Amino acid sequence: MAATDALAGEIREDRLAAGYVFYGEEDYLAEEFIRRLKRALTSPDAQGFNLERFDLAGMRWPDIIDTARTAPFFFSPWRIVVVRAVEENREGKEGREGKESSRKLSSLDEKIIREYFRSPAARTVLVVVITGRVKKTHPLVKFFDSLPRAAVVLREVKPLKKVDLYAWMMRRLASLGKSATPDALSRLEEVAGSDLRRIDHEIEKIAAYTADRKTVDIEDVLQVCDWTKGFIEWDLTDALKKADQRQSLLTLNRAFQEGERPEHVLRVLANFFRDLLLAKLWLREGRDRKEIFAFLKPQIRESFVKLYADEFRALFSLLERLSLGEINWAVRELEKIDLSIKTMDVSEQPLIERFVIEYCRRQQRPRERRAAIWKKKD
């Protein structure tokens, strides 16, 4: 059977390809596919999955393929391995540092990858995301394009233009049980541009604001999306949930460029981890999960259905991945940063960025190694 189309249609286990490669500037479409993939593989029939993320600038292909071939943690029936390569024209210094490892494949790398896709691991999906102004002539893209179509699906992800952008917004609103007037869509585009990540977060805020009302109008967008100082709470905490170092740093940089006070940024981080600490302790006491969620996220009600289910799953999935020691470490580190900012003549942004980098780096390690690191740190 044909492999599932990466950007449209239903994702079915019996039609999944062994690999998906996305290249281009709109990497949020690739992240959207990964979320859809996760949802499909966590259906009652699928029972569970493992998700591992790697940055190609700091990982070798033999190690990545070895991970793909390894049995999933706790024998979960599915594993998703996500590999990201960032190009210089998109991310400046970050792209330059990883450029050589991102662009070039050694003959050994090519041999290992080809052999893997000749006989891929069962119930494992490898997703490669090459971000930037990348064309089909890019060395990585050319290589993956040479692999059998039945094994690897290749898709270019371009920024969406007017008609496609509005269609995407309508689909996203529909997934939350909403529709929107043309004026509301136009205003949303004015506020967020064509940045799908920003639009998605604005839509989530609108869904929470409009509650049970089905149709979003321009007044809703004006009320919600003109809260320009509120983006950090949504964007930064979302990136931290995923341990997405790149997006966390981009959000921090944007916040500081727009004049956000370091104290406020630190407060957002501290509140995020203190909420996790409280939830972890309550889970140990045997409290009901819905009760915990209602206390931490009172603005997201069960009547929101899709948004509620996604946020509920994201919170408790994160709590399952993080140990109490890991959360305590984060809280203590933030307290140290707060003390340094208040008592010393230091530059706040690098301190906060170093914390985020360290947190994300540790979270991207295999769980067994993380446990040893946190224990040693404590």
378 residues of the chain, pLDDT tens digit each: 344 455 666 788 888 999 999 999 898 999 999 988 888 886 555 455 678 889 888 889 999 999 998 866 555 678 899 999 887 554 444 444 444 445 678 999 999 999 999 999 988 999 999 988 888 889 999 999 999 999 999 999 998 988 999 999 999 999 899 999 998 998 888 777 788 888 888 898 888 888 889 999 988 887 777 544 456 677 888 889 888 888 889 889 888 887 888 888 898 899 899 999 999 999 999 999 999 998 888 767 776 677 778 889 989 999 998 999 999 999 999 999 988 888 888 888 999 999 999 999 888 765 444 444 444 444
Q: pTM of the prediction?
A: 0.60
pLDDT of residue 23: 94
Q: How far apart are CA 137 and CA 147, in angstroms?
A: 15
Q: How far apart are CA 73 and CA 166, in angstroms?
A: 40
Could you tell me which of 363, 310, 319 has the C-alpha nearest to residue 36?
Answer: 310
Q: How far apart are CA 296 and CA 308, in angstroms?
A: 12
Instruction: Give the architecture-level CATH label for domain 232-377.
Output: Up-down Bundle (1.20)
pLDDT of residue 178: 94
Cα distances from 252 to residues 47, 236, 309, 342, in angstroms, run 36, 7, 27, 20
pLDDT of residue 272: 92
Helices (H) and strands (E) in the chain, counts: 18, 7
Do 162-226 and 232-377 show the same overall fold? no
Residue type, 42: T
Is it true that domain 13-156 has CATH number 3.40.50.300? Answer: yes
Could you tell me which of 18, 250, 251 has the C-alpha nearest to residue 147?
Answer: 18
**Which two tokens mark 42?**
């966590």
Hey, where are the domains in the chain?
Answer: 13-156, 162-226, 232-377
Tell me whether residue 272 is exposed, middle or buried, using C-beta atoms within 10 angstroms of its C-beta: 0 to 12, 13 to 18, 19 or more.
middle
DSSP string, 201-255: HHHHHHHHHHTT--EE-HHHHHHHHT-GGGHHHHHHHHHHHTT-HHHHHHHHHHH
**Which two tokens mark 251?**
């959000």
Is it true that domain 162-226 has CATH number 1.10.8.60? Answer: yes
